[in-house]
């Protein structure tokens, strides 16, 4: 019997009980769909984590002040003023070859206003290197150069969120904003970076570090009341760079061997890796759960095919009586079970793609369709049809024609 004839007979048999066939496929459909959706969501979550930490800059270390005691109790991270502007100059000198750029970050949250509106936001004081470290450019206007970044000029660069709040209907370039009552000329608007680990990246105003020290901190103390960002030439040099910075800062701060560090160094890449590993484990776990549902779907296919063999015992006997070989009968039932599994696989891929698209929109991450996983899942669904359809097919092929003809359903 030809393959086309076998396919025709198999599809007609499935169509006669199309409701049962559809219900049988549901386990395969949901199994494949769940695998695709979970793997796609895992990839989307991992990409989202990467983008969040990339918004901090590439190959970045963050140096902060250490914890200092207050009336016998620890004041927490940053409470001890230990980092100095001299430390910043030494780190920028090139003594540590793996350091590319160094920038101070002074931060004050305050009210700012324009002629149209006002807004409470974060005002950062930094230098031109800060924009290089953060890989942040101006959409309009300019960012600081080496001179203006270290000056006391009353100029400001606005993030997109601040622009929307203060200048909803006009171009801010060349206009004036007031920070703590003092006028600042807007010289640039940054490109949008969206959400970051600390909230909305675009809800910020950047002014020269000298201006921040003079106008907002109201002093020119030697201590840095903020952070130091360090950009490395390669992320692979993170450990050696952290060790070199630690050794130098301890030496500059004249700390004894028994003294604890009076500063802290963080590597955002480590947090990103930890987050990615966490999402990978969750995605793997969910994919395994989905694979179990696929296995259960295969058992459903075998169960229905066994019922089909019993229901069609007399039909099998008639076919054998008119010349059908046991191999023809076995092939037909195998084709039926594979058809159920493969059709379920196709519907599962469609369901998984729709679920992945919905979750990407809901959680706000990029839509991924794991083509390799989809191909493997589809092949697995075909394998499920063969494995779980083999026993019913063999059982049908071994029926005695005389006994089958006498069978009454």
User: 396 pLDDT band (50/70/90 cuts)?
Assistant: low
- Which is it for strands 99-113 and 176-179: parallel, antiparallel or unpaired? antiparallel
What band does 6 get if pLDDT is binned at 50, 70 and 90? Answer: low
What pLDDT, on a 0 to 100 scale, did the predictor assign at position 179?
94
Domain spans in the chain, listed from the N-terminal domain onward? 3-52+273-406, 103-231
Cβ density class 60-82: b for 16+ within 10 Å, e for less: bbbbbbbbeeeeeeeeeebebeb
Mean pLDDT (whole number) for 349-370: 82
Mean of the pLDDT values across residues 184-203?
A: 85
Q: Which two tokens stand for residue 406?
A: 């006498």
d(CA 363, CA 361): 6
The better pLDDT of the pair 362, 205 is held by 205
Query: Quick one: tokens of 156?
Result: 């400001």
Residue 167, pLDDT score: 93
Q: How far apart are CA 323 and CA 255, in angstroms?
A: 96
Q: What's the whole-number mean pLDDT along residues 376-397?
A: 70
> Taking the CB of residue 365, how many other CB atoms lie within 10 A of it?
19
Structure tokens at 190: 């940054």
Structure confidence by residue, pLDDT tens digits, 171-193: 999 999 999 989 999 999 999 98
Q: What is the DSSP letter of 83?
A: -
Task: Give the model's pLDDT for residue 385.
Answer: 67
Residue 384: what are its φ and ψ, rounded to 5°? -60, -40
What is the dihedral angle through the alpha carbons of 278, 280, 284, 287, rounded to the nearest 10 degrees? Answer: 110
> Which range, 36-45, 100-109, 288-297, has the best average confidence (pLDDT)?
100-109
Q: Is the dihedral of CA 304, 310, 314, 319 positive or negative?
A: positive
- Tokens, residue 351: 């369901």
Question: Angle CA(347)–CA(350)–CA(352) in degrees, nearest 5?
Answer: 105
The more confident residue out of 276 and 66 is 66
Give the phi and the psi of residue 318 in degrees, each rounded to 5: -65, -45
Q: Is pLDDT of 19 > 60? A: yes
What number is the average pLDDT over the span 50-78? 63
Q: In angstroms, rounded to a whole number, what is the distance separating the alpha carbons of residues 300 and 306? A: 10
SS3 382: helix
Burial class (CB in 10 A: 0-12, 13-18, 19+), 189: buried
Q: The dihedral of CA 165, 170, 171, 172: what is its sign? A: negative
Q: Which residues contact 48 (CB under 8 A, 6 or more apart)?
A: 363, 364, 365, 366
176, 158 contact by CB (below 8 A): no
The alpha helices in 204-325, defined as continuous H runs, are 209-211, 238-252, 268-311, 313-321
CA torsion sign, 235 to 236 to 239 to 243?
A: negative
pLDDT at 116: 85
The highest-confidence range among 19-28, 151-160, 312-321, by mean pLDDT, is 151-160
Cα separation, 28 vs 265, whole angstroms: 50
C-beta separation of 31 from 291 below 8 A: yes
Q: Which candidate, 349, 340, 294, places its Cα nearest to that of 23?
A: 340
DSSP assignments along 130-158, one per residue? HHHHTT--EEEE----HHHHHS---EEEE
Lowest mean pLDDT of 44-58, 86-100, 139-153, 154-168, name the range.
Answer: 44-58
Query: For residue 30, what pLDDT band results from cuts at 50, 70 and 90?
Result: confident
Name the one residue in this structure whose structure tokens are 């920028």: 92
Q: Using an 8 Å Cβ cutoff, are 82 and 262 in contact? A: yes
Is pLDDT of 337 > 70? yes
The HSE-up count of residue 89 (CA atoms within 13 Å, CB side) is 7
pLDDT in tens, 278-330: 666 766 776 677 667 667 767 777 777 677 666 666 666 666 766 667 777 77
DSSP strand pairing (263-266 vs 182-190): unpaired
- Alpha-carbon gap, residue 18 to 241, rounded angstroms: 67
**What is the pTM (predicted TM-score) of this model?**
0.60
Which of 177, 174, 154 has its CA nearest to residue 165?
177
């Amino acid at each position: 019997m030809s393959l086309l004839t076998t396919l025709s007979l198999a599809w007609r048999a499935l169509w006669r009980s199309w409701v049962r066939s559809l219900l049988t496929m549901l386990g395969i459909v949901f199994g494949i769909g769940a695998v695709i959706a979970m793997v796609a969501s895992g990839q989307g979550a991992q990409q989202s984590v990467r983008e969040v930490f990339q918004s901090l800059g590439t190959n970045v270390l963050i140096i902060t002040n250490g914890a200092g005691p207050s009336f016998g109790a620890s004041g927490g991270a940053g409470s001890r003023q230990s980092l100095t502007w001299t430390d910043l100059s030494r780190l920028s000198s090139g003594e540590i070859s793996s350091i590319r750029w160094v920038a101070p970050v002074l931060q004050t949250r305050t009210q700012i206003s324009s002629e149209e509106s006002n807004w409470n936001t974060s005002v950062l004081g930094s230098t031109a290197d800060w924009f290089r470290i953060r890989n942040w450019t101006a959409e309009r206007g300019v960012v600081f150069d080496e001179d203006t970044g270290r000056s006391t000029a009353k100029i400001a660069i606005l993030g997109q969120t601040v622009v929307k709040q203060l200048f909803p209907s006009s171009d801010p370039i060349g206009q004036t904003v007031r920070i703590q009552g003092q006028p600042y000329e807007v010289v640039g608007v940054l490109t949008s970076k969206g959400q970051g680990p600390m909230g909305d990246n675009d809800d910020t105003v950047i002014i020269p570090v000298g201006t921040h020290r003079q106008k907002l901190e109201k002093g020119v103390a030697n201590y840095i009341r903020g952070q130091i960002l360090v950009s490395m030439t390669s992320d692979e040099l993170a450990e050696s760079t952290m060790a070199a910075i630690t050794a130098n800062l301890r030496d500059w701060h004249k700390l004894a061997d028994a003294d604890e560090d009076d500063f802290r160094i963080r590597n955002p890449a480590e947090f990103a890796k930890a987050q990615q590993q966490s999402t990978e484990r969750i995605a793997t776990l969910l994919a395994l759960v989905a694979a179990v549902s696929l296995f259960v779907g295969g058992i459903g296919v075998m169960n229905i095919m066994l019922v089909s063999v019993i229901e069609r015992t007399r039909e099998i006997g008639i076919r054998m009586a008119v010349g059908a070989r046991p191999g023809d009968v076995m092939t037909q039932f195998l084709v039926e079970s594979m058809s159920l599994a493969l059709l379920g696989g196709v519907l599962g891929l469609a369901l998984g793609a729709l679920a992945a698209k919905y979750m990407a929109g809901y959680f706000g991450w990029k839509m991924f369709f794991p083509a390799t996983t989809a191909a493997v899942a589809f092949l697995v669904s075909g394998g499920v049809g063969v494995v779980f359809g083999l026993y019913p097919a063999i059982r049908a092929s071994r029926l005695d024609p005389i006994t089958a003809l006498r069978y009454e359903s």
